[in-house]
Structure 1
């Protein structure tokens, strides 16, 4: 729900939930979060390796699941011969946008309004060769018990030797005693500022504010709790769920990871 705040004279509005905030900024979402071409290339390389390992042109369909797919830009760009694409997101407006972008005649791509917590219940076990959870989606799952469930469900959904590909902020560089300011997102029309505010239970709350060109501001009410995901925790969650390998990189080109790089790319093998 969006409602006028006490700062209404400043032309600002407070938005109560994260999903309502995403819906409110949907018009600008792809400007602020353009498709990551490095991620696209990385997934394409994994698909080609799978094809070569499985017999070249006779290889079975490569199945990809995008968790937290938002407007489906990446998934729609991936769609093509030899690929079966599924995207899930719990924001209905984003899923409708993703569906409208499906190229005419492409039956091997689909989008579902679905939480990451429900994917193990509604999707077929051992049916995906690659699961992508990108754009720092993992910490937004929230409670650590739910994050552990996500790793368990992801492994159950992966085919033998399947991969889980994760992209997060580098939480190893995060000082838990201070607010953590995320890189500013901006386009010609809008500017998005976000930061993480530490809580007493080891989590953080998200502070977010979108400013439009006319000075109007959309402010997220600070009750969205996230679970930081440093490398030690991710390794523990993956190992606990039964993944056989877990590798960390600084980017999608597999550059060496370090504690001060801006993001962390993780590849977990079933």
Structure 2
């Protein structure tokens, strides 16, 4: 099996151990969505947040490009009229849906995996097109302004009972690309898997300007899912924009 595939299969297997979804994170987007609304969870991974949204009285569709993530989600949660999972490229949502969603959730640092400013802007346009009027787009990404300003080379270690996940950044001078290396240590069999991908470091102000240019009426930025006032000093960047 290809090393990259092995890495992401291992990541899928232990995703919920590595990235548990606290209640505040799962509830964040629902503040501005009326009960019964249709919510799209982009980059849903193993479906924990998607299932929670459905359990709270909403219709929820979770999409992810990774087939193993979606397989786990479908095995773990029973699909129904209000809960669906689908393998889908986030860049194709405008071709796949009409103006039908009452909210979009895109958390888990998905944006940097797109290939640059133009792809990110096209994705955000797609989100705008499939959202109904007065509906929110909720994004969580990395605050790359802080990463570049403080020359951050390593993210906090995640060390759980089953797996250890180490994360490293390597930034070339005067570049918007960071090489992200993830190293998974499976404690059950002592296997170590490592993979490196390029991430695009969109500046915060550029993201805010894109949302405005696309037509989002209002937007707010936060340091965390508790809606703490945005300072630019937190490692996460949480953004909520209303069409």
Q: Give TM-score scaled by structure 2 length.
A: 0.91
Q: Secondary structure at the match of 2:30?
A: helix
Q: Does 1:161 find its partner at 2:134?
A: yes
Deviation at 1:160, TM superposition (A): 0.4
Query: What's 2:15 paired with?
Result: 29
**Secondary structure, counterpart of 1:174 in structure 2:** helix
Tell whether the 8 Å contact from 1:177 to 1:198 is kept in structure 2 after alignment. no
- Paired position in structure 2 for 1:244: 217
- The aligned counterpart of 1:189 is 162
User: Contact conserved, 1:69 with 1:89, CA < 8 A, in 2?
Assistant: yes
Distance 1:23 1:90 in 2: 13
- Check the 8 A contact 1:178/1:197 in 2, yes or no: no
SS of residue paired to 1:161: coil
Evaluate the alpha carbon distance shift between residue 242 and residue 45 of structure 1 in structure 2; reply closer, same or farther with a 3 A threshold. Answer: closer
Q: CA deviation at 1:74?
A: 0.8
Once residues 231 and 56 of structure 2 are traced to their aligned partners in structure 1, the CA distance between those partners, rounded to angstroms, is 37
Contact preservation (8 Å) 2:135, 2:242: yes
Given candidates 181, 190, 205, the residue that maps to 2:179 is 205
1:54 match: none
8 Å CA contact 1:65, 1:87 repeated in 2:
yes
Contact 2:176 2:202 survives alignment (8 Å)? no
Mapped contact 1:179–1:198 kept (Cα < 8 A): no
State the Cα RMSD in Å: 2.0
Conserved? CA contact 2:117–2:202, under 8 Å: no
1:163–1:269 CA contact under 8 A, matched in 2:
yes
Paired residues of 1:176 and 1:198 also in contact (CA < 8 A): no
- Is the Cα–Cα contact under 8 Å of residues 170 and 264 in structure 1 kept in the other structure? yes
For residue 112 of structure 1, what is the aligned residue in structure 2?
A: 86
Q: Extract unaligned runs of 5+ from structure 1.
A: 3-14, 52-60
Give the 3 Å change call, closer, same or farther, for CA 177–169 of structure 1 in structure 2: closer
1:149 shift after superposition? 0.6
Distance 2:129 2:6 in 1: 31
Give CA deviations for 1:58-84 in whole Å, capped at 9, x if unaligned: xxx311100000000111122136411
Judge which range, 172-181 or 254-263, deviates more: 172-181
> After alignment, is 23-32 or 70-79 more displaced?
23-32
- Are 2:81 and 1:95 equivalent residues in the alignment? no
CA contact (8 A) 2:12 2:45 kept: no
Q: Conserved in 2, the CA contact under 8 Å of 1:65 and 1:130?
A: yes
Structure 2 counterpart SS, 1:182: strand
Q: How many residues align?
A: 241
TM-score of the two chains, using structure 1 as the length reference? 0.82
Q: Give the distance between the partners of 2:14 and 2:185, measured in 1 at CA.
A: 11
